[in-house]
Amino acid sequence: MFWARGLSQKETCEAKDLKRFMKIGLAIYNFDPKKGGAERYAYDLATDLLNRGHQVYVFCSKAVNLRGVVIAKFDTVRFPRWLRSLFFALNHRRYRKMFSLDIMLGFGNTLDIDVYQSHGGVQRFWMEREIASYDDPREKRIKAALLRNSLNQRIQRWVEEYPIRRGGYSRIVAISDMVKGHMKEHYSLKDDKIDVVYNGVDTEKFRPGDQKNTQKMEILFSAGNFRLKGLLPLLTATGQLAKERSDFQLLIMGRGRKERYEETIGRLGIGNMVRFLGETSSPEMIYRQAHALVHPTFYDACSLTTMESMASGLPTVTTRWNGASALIDLDEGYVIEGPEDIEALTDAIRNLFNEEKRIVMGKKARLKLEEYTIVRNVDLMENIFQEVCDEKHSQ
């Protein structure tokens, strides 16, 4: 266990904000923004809370340094995964008692929390959609059996549900209305028990670009998990469109396994229309180059990719299984029922070949996302922390 330097009392008191300065704990296995998802969110949140004068304590097993944060790093086993999940939750409970915190924020990986915020949604819904994303019937049956009988999944679900089932929390924060609905159904919670705080986007970094290909429409797909995010349905829809026209190209960005899709691309005869870009440290530049984003996901609690696309002025196509789909109105993009509906997916993309409509949609999407900044997200989370802190101190 080691400690990184925290802000001194003098540095904390020099902050100009008149709000109560809080000691806020975050629990995340790997405190590293390069991991993306909850890890990136935790790092950004910690940075902004520090800048607002709060003390931030991070409980983790792996971490990158962040000046001003107190790092409570504890060892845990790497394998098997179920034991890692259990050890992390139990070690967090042990080390948290060493600090007098005002707020403890957990991401579904801890037993003791004040504020619960799951970035992966409700495990039960994710699992069923994960299984649905396998197109081969035999592979789907095997994956279903493995997931539903997995000790790791059972331990993760137990840890995730423990504080909620026991009422051991002050507030629950869902990152989308979809996740809120799933939590109400799964835990039999009332509507007023859950706050909704959507992710925030760096709207300075992700902004519209004016250097676009004028010869072909470039359709972007961006994901780390190609299967779960719907690449196969998108390739199938691309094959349908390729029978009608050739003035477009599909750009595939991310670290997914392209080998899995080479046979499909060859069979559909779209090899010259598909480009795998791999990972990039500057995804915002690819967004500015593209004309539209298509994200036919099987499940996303609230896709940051979708929000970054809209902030970049791109009309976006996604499914109702994406929590961020609630942000897309009819004049900003298209939301289809599910990735299995190839006809609806193809029609939605086909509509985007209308350049005038595409440009108008992109402008309105950008205008919408200008409201969903990282600052707004932190403002809302800070207000929730403040209310919980005030309630605790008034008792």
φ and ψ at residue 341, rounded to 5 degrees: -85, 80
Give the 3-state secondary structure of 80-126: CHHHHHHHHHHHHHHHHCCCCCCEEEECCCCCCCCEEECCCCCHHHH
pLDDT at 76: 87
Q: Give CA–CA dist 139/150, Å, rounded.
A: 16
Region 217-369: CATH code = 3.40.50.2000
Q: ∠ CA 383-387-388 to the nearest 5 degrees?
A: 120
pLDDT at 9: 37
Q: Give me the torsion for CA of 356, 362, 368, 373, rounded to 10°.
A: -160
Q: Could you give the 3-state DSSP secondary structure of residue 251? A: strand
* Fold category of 9-200+374-394 in CATH: Rossmann fold (3.40.50)
Q: Are 325 and 340 in contact (CB under 8 A)?
A: no
pLDDT at 283: 95
| Type of residue at 375 | V
Q: Give CA–CA dist 301/164, Å, rounded.
A: 18
Termini Cα distance of the chain: 33
Q: Would you give per-residue pLDDT tens digits along the chain (395 residues)? A: 444 444 443 343 343 344 689 999 999 999 999 888 899 999 999 999 999 999 999 999 999 999 999 999 998 888 899 999 999 999 999 999 999 999 999 999 999 999 999 899 999 999 999 999 999 999 999 999 999 999 999 999 999 999 999 999 999 999 999 999 999 999 999 999 999 999 999 999 999 998 787 789 999 999 999 999 999 999 999 999 999 999 999 999 999 999 999 999 999 999 999 999 999 999 999 999 999 999 999 999 999 999 999 999 999 999 999 999 999 999 999 999 999 999 999 999 999 999 999 999 999 999 999 999 999 999 999 999 999 999 988 87
Q: Give CA–CA dist 197/69, Å, rounded.
A: 24
Minimal CA–CA distance to 372: which of 327, 313, 336, 314? Answer: 327
**Range 157-186 burial, b when 16+ CB lie within 10 A, else e:** bebbbbbbeeeebbbbbbbbbbbbbbbbee
Please state the domain extents for the chain: 9-200+374-394, 217-369
Tokens standing for 332?
């900003």
